[in-house]
Chains A and B, each alone.
Chain A
């Protein structure tokens, strides 16, 4: 087993601009079941993708692929025609929250929003809209979700992953790659890796992910990578102490970040003495999380936690 996505995940892409096009191609190369696209101005057409497969992806495929993805006007129509159960959003920021709500209205299990720069007020509304829907949102402003060898939704490079024992959850993109790659090099591998995104209002938080990894029979341990700002890591630490039986390793970025400055991500800011790296590291250590002192030690910390 794995969580969120697997070989039965059937994915729609919302937004076929330059970025959406590029990453849809990479996902198909990886072996993700891309089943359609939603792009109102191109409805009724097909989007063609062809190339050499990504050998690090889903095994047992031909060396090349050539696929015509049908393009639909609405998510609802796309779901009816393709049986999709997940979508990935590359829609530009002003329209991204609407795309998320549309995916939820169509009853998808999962929507992964990659778009960076979505207005906070839009996300507040979208999150309220999602409250009584069955759809899980991951993101926005995130690298996506990958279950190595089965399904890749998002912008992460496929080849650094290897199927294995560890669940990965992170607020950052490239720092996730760093952790994933170390786990691949030291042979632990990943069950599923999830970037939950760097925005202050997002669909899925650390606690949601920890709960899923705890319940997943394949996952033996979890590494969570946090950063300054907010109190999501403190909440996660509380959950680890109270409800996790599996070992957890962690890292917090931003020890050297000055207060009052936004460190790239909209959510990464120490304000009013809240959200410091020191407080998060302290909370996680007290909860029994094995902390990596530097990002180069993340894989090693996970190995130590697993014993």
Chain B
């Protein structure tokens, strides 16, 4: 689960990790009202207005509705004109940003609608660095990853100048040791008081990662201010969904408007669904088989409309929900059900399909491939149902049949 930048900063701030002062605003009025107290508290007339979406690249991204407007804006009007001028500018920009669609390198061309803004104090930046805590699968441990190349896409740094990326493996029984923090500071050429500030920062970040079950914490950029303070200028956090049960306060931060509504509905029904761009809806049991089904559809000349894994033990109701989700997508021109029953019994799936078609209706071709536990009963239920179902003998046969029917 991802959270917004302002939420990540709230979490960091509450754990003693330095972040700039800031205020979240969900309306133009809230944004304007935040200006004066922020300027007074920080003593800096310069403020930054940042779009809050679950995607990076906001600073360089622009709005579909306002091609000249970027996702993050530095507002300098307060320097000469005082808080009133800053308020006027914030009001003007917030009105354009809120409700508009921000397109960044990470959102894809469709972009994301901005529903929240974050107003932050301006910071005097001396250096920009990169810092992250994330899982390294090859060692089955979290690592700290750091680089002098702050503000850049870290994937590009890793590609072009891998020597500029520093790593420290975290022993889960010990946490990040002080010497490891020192080695990182040294490698990043951080000197004096800032080096101590950095060591405190990175150790607190490691503790946060462990205690809150984060999947990723990324600070890009981490800045050293003109005054030698180490601070998170941006903050991205993602949490392990499987561990949210022990962090109800984090689970409450979920912003469902950031997620695809069909994907949210699927998750609530215990299904795993991801919308894709094609025309053939897929309903499969098992994630690997679901991916392989999509691949096969493409291999025989079609395009999958979705990934949908009904899981190992789906019941009739879940199959109905899955059908509803698939048929709601107007791009779907045909449906391919591919089940290899292990624990999942084919007769249950067949009954579910019949019930679903009766409830949801069916206006597009349906190809069903059943294999595994109780396959004969499953096939019998389908053939006796009177539904217009095309049976398939194998995954490939099914994929070819549905692609042929859709064309």
Instruction: Answer yes or no: A99 CB below 8 A from chain B CBs.
Output: no
By a CB distance below 8 angstroms, the chain A residues around B272 are 263-264
Q: Which of B240, B276, B286, B296 contacts A296 (CB 8 A)?
A: B296
Q: Which 4 A-B pairs have the closest CB atoms?
A: A172-B288, A264-B287, A174-B286, A175-B288
Q: Pick 15 A–B contacts, CB within 8 A, sort by A.
A: A119-B213, A119-B246, A124-B141, A124-B142, A127-B140, A157-B343, A157-B373, A170-B288, A172-B287, A176-B288, A231-B137, A257-B307, A258-B276, A264-B291, A267-B137
By a CB distance below 8 angstroms, the chain B residues around A257 are 291, 294, 307
Q: Which of A124, A254, A293 contacts B291 (CB 8 A)?
A: A254
State which residues 75-96 of A face B: CB under 8 Å. 93-94
Indicate if the CB atoms of B289 and A175 lie closer than 8 Å. Answer: yes
Instruction: Answer yes or no: B395 CB below 8 A from chain A CBs.
Output: yes
Q: CA of A94 to CA of B245 in the docked complex: distance in angstroms? A: 9
By a CB distance below 8 angstroms, the chain A residues around B297 are 256
Instruction: Answer yes or no: B396 CB below 8 A from chain A CBs.
Output: yes
Indicate if the CB atoms of B172 and A128 lie closer than 8 Å. Answer: yes
Indicate if the CB atoms of B342 and A156 lie closer than 8 Å. Answer: yes
Q: CA of A122 to CA of B242 in the docked complex: distance in angstroms? A: 10
Instruction: Answer yes or no: A34 CB below 8 A from chain B CBs.
Output: no
Instruction: Answer yes or no: A67 CB below 8 A from chain B CBs.
Output: no
Closest to B298 in A: A256
Indicate if the CB atoms of B140 and A227 lie closer than 8 Å. Answer: no
Instruction: Answer yes or no: B234 CB below 8 A from chain A CBs.
Output: no
Interface size on B, residues (CB 8 A): 58
Closest to A174 in B: B286
Instruction: Answer yes or no: A284 CB below 8 A from chain B CBs.
Output: no
Indicate if the CB atoms of A294 and B286 lie closer than 8 Å. Answer: no
Closest to B300 in A: A294
Assess A175 versus B155: contact at CB under 8 Å? Given A157-B372, A160-B372, A254-B295.
no
CB distance from B33 to the nearest CB of A (A): 35
Indicate if the CB atoms of A157 and B289 lie closer than 8 Å. Answer: no
Instruction: Answer yes or no: B77 CB below 8 A from chain A CBs.
Output: no
Instruction: Answer yes or no: B299 CB below 8 A from chain A CBs.
Output: yes
Q: CA of A178 to CA of B284 in the docked complex: distance in angstroms? A: 13
Instruction: Answer yes or no: A268 CB below 8 A from chain B CBs.
Output: yes
CB distance from B401 to the nearest CB of A (A): 13
Q: CA of A230 to CA of B138 in the docked complex: distance in angstroms? A: 8
Indicate if the CB atoms of B242 and A155 lie closer than 8 Å. Answer: no
Indicate if the CB atoms of A157 and B341 lie closer than 8 Å. Answer: yes
Instruction: Answer yes or no: B364 CB below 8 A from chain A CBs.
Output: no
Indicate if the CB atoms of A121 and B213 lie closer than 8 Å. Answer: yes
Q: Which of A93, A177, A231, A235 has the most CB of B within 10 A?
A: A177
Q: CA of A175 to CA of B342 in the docked complex: distance in angstroms? A: 11
Indicate if the CB atoms of B340 and A178 lie closer than 8 Å. Answer: yes
Indicate if the CB atoms of B138 and A231 lie closer than 8 Å. Answer: yes
Closest to B303 in A: A256
Q: Which of B171, B215, B243, B286 has the most CB of A within 10 A?
A: B286
Interface size on A, residues (CB 8 A): 64
Contact with A along B285-315 (1 / 0, CB 8 A): 1111111111111110000100101001000
Indicate if the CB atoms of B287 and A268 lie closer than 8 Å. Answer: yes
Q: Which of A124, A174, A293 contacts B172 (CB 8 A)?
A: A124
Closest to B245 in A: A94
Instruction: Answer yes or no: A245 CB below 8 A from chain B CBs.
Output: no
Instruction: Answer yes or no: B274 CB below 8 A from chain A CBs.
Output: yes
Closest to A177 in B: B340
Instruction: Point out residues on B near A: beta carbons under 8 Å.
Output: 106, 135, 137-138, 140-142, 154-155, 158-159, 171-173, 210, 213, 215, 240-243, 245-246, 272, 274, 276, 284-299, 304, 307, 309, 312, 340-343, 371-373, 394-397, 399
Indicate if the CB atoms of B137 and A200 lie closer than 8 Å. Answer: yes
Indicate if the CB atoms of A264 and B340 lie closer than 8 Å. Answer: no
By a CB distance below 8 angstroms, the chain B residues around A230 are 137-138
Instruction: Point out residues on A near B: beta carbons under 8 Å.
Output: 22-23, 93-94, 116-125, 127-128, 143, 155-157, 160, 170-178, 181, 198, 200-201, 225, 227-228, 230-232, 235, 251, 253-258, 260-261, 263-268, 272-273, 277, 293-297
Closest to A298 in B: B292
Q: CA of A172 to CA of B274 in the docked complex: distance in angstroms? A: 18
Q: Which of B284, B288, B292, B341 has the most CB of A within 10 A?
A: B288
Indicate if the CB atoms of A172 and B172 lie closer than 8 Å. Answer: no
Q: CA of A258 to CA of B290 in the docked complex: distance in angstroms? A: 14
Indicate if the CB atoms of A293 and B340 lie closer than 8 Å. Answer: no
Indicate if the CB atoms of B140 and A201 lie closer than 8 Å. Answer: yes
Q: Which of A119, A143, A267 contacts B342 (CB 8 A)?
A: A143
Q: CA of A198 to CA of B135 in the docked complex: distance in angstroms? A: 15
Indicate if the CB atoms of A264 and B309 lie closer than 8 Å. Answer: yes
Indicate if the CB atoms of A178 and B292 lie closer than 8 Å. Answer: yes
Indicate if the CB atoms of B287 and A294 lie closer than 8 Å. Answer: no
Indicate if the CB atoms of A118 and B373 lie closer than 8 Å. Answer: no
Indicate if the CB atoms of A263 and B295 lie closer than 8 Å. Answer: no
Q: Which of B159, B243, B246, B291 contacts A227 (CB 8 A)?
A: B291
Given contacts A174-B342, A260-B106, A273-B159, 14 further A-B contacts (CB under 8 A): A121-B213, A128-B140, A128-B171, A173-B288, A173-B342, A175-B288, A177-B340, A181-B340, A227-B291, A235-B138, A255-B298, A261-B307, A268-B288, A294-B292
Q: Which of A125, A255, A256, A263 has the most CB of B within 10 A?
A: A256
Closest to B153 in A: A272
Q: CA of A173 to CA of B342 in the docked complex: distance in angstroms? A: 9
By a CB distance below 8 angstroms, the chain B residues around A235 are 138
Indicate if the CB atoms of B294 and A155 lie closer than 8 Å. Answer: no
Q: CA of A94 to CA of B286 in the docked complex: distance in angstroms? A: 22
By a CB distance below 8 angstroms, the chain B residues around A251 are 292
Q: CA of A242 to CA of B153 in the docked complex: distance in angstroms? A: 35
By a CB distance below 8 angstroms, the chain A residues around B286 are 172-175, 264
By a CB distance below 8 angstroms, the chain B residues around A293 are 299
Indicate if the CB atoms of A266 and B288 lie closer than 8 Å. Answer: no
Closest to B276 in A: A258
Assess A261 versus B292: contact at CB under 8 Å? Given A128-B171, A172-B286, A178-B395.
no
Q: Which of A116, A118, A124 contacts B140 (CB 8 A)?
A: A124
Indicate if the CB atoms of B243 and A253 lie closer than 8 Å. Answer: no
Indicate if the CB atoms of B287 and A200 lie closer than 8 Å. Answer: no
Closest to B154 in A: A272
CB distance from A265 to the nearest CB of B (A): 5
Closest to B263 in A: A261
By a CB distance below 8 angstroms, the chain B residues around A254 are 291, 295
Closest to A18 in B: B313
By a CB distance below 8 angstroms, the chain B residues around A123 are 140
Indicate if the CB atoms of A200 and B135 lie closer than 8 Å. Answer: yes
